[in-house]
Structure 1
Amino acid sequence: MSYPNYPNQPYQPQPQPNPSNTLSIIGIVLGCVAFLFCPPLFGIAGIICGAIATSKGERLGKTALGVSIAGLVVGMILGFVVFQGMQGI
């Protein structure tokens, strides 16, 4: 008895998303710090970490990106309001 000729294809596992959320957590922490301290520095660093985490497929990458953007914007607005109040304008 003969068997039909099937092409022998090796098993290729599907790439799995990165199970680690290290960059995402760093991005979230930087975004939270940006609310009160130096929003341009910490907010932009958080956005970069969140973008890299999202491109790596980390589960919390989009959350880190959102928190960092919010921290940058709200921190800048809060800083503007506080310093305008200190000037008395």
Structure 2
Amino acid sequence: MSYSGPPYQPGPPPGNDSNTLSIVGIVLGAIAFIFCPPGFGIAGIICGVVANSKRERLAPIAIGVSIAGLVLGMVLGVLVFRGMYGG
């Protein structure tokens, strides 16, 4: 009697060819830098995380741009507010 070895186990699923949610997350992160950072930044992060769960290639970039847009937009907003009102 011969032993043929362990059964075949497939590897991880291939990445998703679509980058739609990632691109939406990148655009929202870029918009968050200038306009309404909390709203657009958080929406971009959510799109990036969902894209990451779908294994889209650009998902880490979308998450990074959205976080940067959120943080830098908030800092820019504080600086502009202080400049306008002298606080």
Matched, 1:81 2:83: no
- Residue of structure 1 in register with 2:63 after alignment: 65
Q: Secondary structure at the match of 2:62?
A: helix
Percent identity over the alignment is 64
Matched, 1:42 2:29: no
For the aligned residue pairs, the C-alpha RMSD in angstroms reads 1.8
Larger Rg: 1
Structure 2: distance between partners of 1:77 and 1:14: 40
Superposition deviation, residue 15 in structure 1 = 2.5
Structure 1 gaps, min length 5: none
Structure 2: distance between partners of 1:65 and 1:82: 25
Count of residue correspondences:
82
Paired AA for residue 75 in structure 2:
I
Q: Secondary structure at the match of 1:59?
A: coil
Paired AA for residue 27 in structure 2:
V
- Residue of structure 2 in register with 1:56 after alignment: 54
- Residue of structure 1 in register with 2:24 after alignment: 26
Paired AA for residue 30 in structure 1:
L
The structure 1 segments of at least 4 consecutive aligned residues displaced by more than 3 Å after TM superposition are none
Structure 2 gaps, min length 5: none
TM-score, normalising length from structure 2? 0.85
TM-score, normalising length from structure 1? 0.83
